[in-house]
Amino acid sequence: MCTTTTAPWKQLLLNSLHSNSNLRHSSYFQLATITPNGMPANRTVVFRGFENETNKIQINTDCRTHKIEDLKHWPFAEICWYFTDSWEQFRISGLVDVIDGSNPDSLKLQQREKAWFDSSPKSRLQYLGPDPGLPSLGDQPVQVPSSLDPAAGPVAAFCLLVLDPHEVDYLNLKSNERICFSRMIANEVISWNSEKVNP
């Protein structure tokens, strides 16, 4: 098992989150995947924090969405995150671990359960609705149950995605600075190289 240290880009990201915390949209970013037919697919998701003390980024999603099919076909994705107050952009690419209820790893299942209970009750209710992306039946708005046992564990549709960053491209438009970070593994130790490049 590889050992890792806190990535230098992570502190930049934490600083950006802090300085833009007054803006609700600062916890949203775009997640791009590749579909099985080779086309790009992009959507906005919510940042659910880092996995424990690692550099890995957590995202909650519905197992029934197209992004799961994309990631099972090609398990790499890229995040694009822009902070409007500080004029900073992070593009973070890496391998995505899809953790659903059928995962054989008990530690990952515990991680999924923790992510479920860390979510708001209102957020959990979304996973009880009809299959995302399928045609709606009738003219009425989609009905989602209005309550859920707060002590109940994750429902089948709940899935945790964990993105393990391999490369990070940081751009600061105020200072006109751009830094590219790339992950290196040597003797089972993970480290990060950084290089300043032209914006």
4-12 average pLDDT score: 88
- Measured in whole angstroms, the distance separating CA 82 from the mean position of its chain's CA atoms is 14
Q: How far apart are CA 181 and CA 179, in angstroms?
A: 6
Give the model's pLDDT for residue 51: 95
Which residue would you say has higher pLDDT here, 23 or 6? 23
Give the model's pLDDT for residue 180: 98
Ordered domains of the chain (ranges, CATH) = 3-129+149-197 (2.30.110.10)
Q: In this structure, are residues 50 and 88 in contact, taking their beta carbons and an 8 Å threshold?
A: no
Q: What is the pLDDT of residues 31-73, one digit of tens each?
A: 999 999 999 999 999 999 999 989 999 999 999 999 999 999 9
Give the model's pLDDT for residue 143: 63
172-177 average pLDDT score: 97
DSSP assignment of 149-197 equals -TT----TTEEEEEEEEEEEEEEETTTTEEEEEEEEEETTEEEEEEEEE
Q: What is the pLDDT of residues 127-174, one digit of tens each?
A: 988 888 777 776 666 666 666 788 889 999 999 999 999 999 999 999
The CA radius of gyration of the chain, in Å to the nearest whole number, is 18
Q: What is the pLDDT of residues 73-127, one digit of tens each?
A: 999 999 999 999 999 999 999 999 999 999 999 999 999 999 999 999 889 998 9
Give the model's pLDDT for residue 130: 81
